[in-house]
A = this chain, B = another copy of it.
Amino acid sequence: MELSRPGPDAVGTGRSRSVMADPGSTGRFGRFGGRYVPESLVPACEQLESGFRAAWADPAFRAGLARTLALHAGRPTPVTPALRLSAELGLTLLLKREDLTHTGSHKINNVLGQAMLAKRMGKTRLLAETGAGQHGVASATAAALLGLECVVYMGERDMRRQELNVFRMELLGATVVAVRNGSRTLKDACTEALRGWVTQVDEAHYCVGSVMGPHPYPWMVREFQRVVGEEARQQCAALLPQGRPDVVVACVGGGSNAAGTFAGFVDTDARLVGVEAAGGAAVSRGAPGVLHGYRSQVLQDEHGQILEAHSISAGLDYPGIGPEHAHLADIGRAEYPSVTDAEVVEAVLRLARTEGIVPALESAHALAWVLRAAGTPQLPTGCSVLVTLSGRGDKDGAQLVALRRDGARSGALRRDAAGTPR
């Protein structure tokens, strides 16, 4: 695909404004989305939808959320020009720094929104699912800040792999529930959280961690993450001569950081690129299906059984993708390439050594695609690229150390290579 190079007048014009808009009461994005939940959860979803509609239309709620994001979570985050890497790649690379938020990823934007909404709706408890623990830690954080209880569902296998994050959640006062079903990982934690919600809908809000789940979640989470794209758009306007980047790139697990980023640019002519993990590429390797309450592209076998995703990054180890992304792919407004684990490790190293930033493995997917595409017709020399760095890599240290020990996936991590700037 050739890079589209619109004239300046095309910015903010060519695209329909109805893309990434309010999906209405059905929660549909084209053929995707919806609300595939048991009847017992329908009232809760309806109540949440109307609660969110009211809050989102209430300037006081939005001001309160904005204030909390600013005073507590550290917004706005900067857009950093990656000067040395840009020079190496022959393009202008800008990084939206969600790694600098409180708790270290964009997840906090969403959980603060949902926690404040839950409190406004009179709920006293947050439920959350978590894989690697990032969303769990963020949820526990928001709950502590607002004086809510917090119960986090986590696969037993993930709990063993992420002992530290389990500890962090407990430190924050949350209760972590071990999920012993199925593959004992994220998808089972989601399922279990939905089950748990059914039993406590009155007092509990289920704080979904990405743009997935039944309506209104995909829409609501995108709106809570919209701040990423809106800030970035303003910041790009100040940093780039042409006012907006040619290409906007974000990694996609469920797709919340990508959705928030894209929301800021969907009405421009910027190309939108969501990068999936090769082992969890729901758009290119999935098929339409229903999982965790919504219809989307889902990794599944020919019989309709959900497949486990496999990625070096726990946060992208999810077999679905937010329904709005499936729709954006359908209509051609965004593309969803995927990158391999080895490319991801290379990208972590490359950014660390050129810009002094160690990105989360998740975020490094977006960067890995840029490294691959730079200088090809996909990303021609001289173009400008905004990459959302969804989170920081501190959490991945132990995993990378283990990788180096095994020497398995990437020669780039070997100790002898580590000392040499590349």
Contacts and interface: CB of A to CB of B under 8 A. Distances in A.
Interface string A64-82: 0000001110100111110
B84 A80 contact: no
A376 to B, nearest CB: 26
Contact of A171 (B100, B102, B348, B420): B348
A330 interface: no
A354 B80 contact: no
Contacts of A352: 144, 171-173
A419 B398 CA distance: 26
A354 B400 CA distance: 33
Assign chain A's interface to a size class. Answer: 35 or more
Nearest to A79: B71
A74 B97 contact: yes
B77 A71 contact: no
A368 B135 CA distance: 28
A358 interface: yes
B142 A356 contact: yes
A388 to B, nearest CB: 15
Interface in A160-193: 163-164, 167-168, 170-175
A54 interface: no
A149 interface: yes
Contacts of A198: none
A104 B172 contact: no
Contact of A74 (B100, B168, B398): B100
Nearest to A115: B356
B173 A143 contact: no
Contacts of A357: 102, 141
A234 B173 CA distance: 33
Nearest to A104: B394
Interface in A195-245: none
Interface in A16-37: none
B397 A164 contact: yes
Contacts of A5: none
A3 interface: no
A375 B143 CA distance: 27
Given A74-B97, A145-B356, A147-B421, 18 more contacts: A71-B79, A72-B78, A84-B147, A102-B356, A142-B356, A163-B401, A167-B400, A167-B404, A168-B358, A170-B418, A171-B348, A171-B349, A171-B353, A171-B400, A172-B352, A173-B352, A173-B353, A173-B422
16 contacts: A71-B78, A84-B147, A97-B102, A144-B355, A145-B355, A163-B401, A164-B401, A170-B418, A171-B352, A171-B358, A171-B418, A172-B352, A173-B419, A173-B421, A394-B394, A394-B395
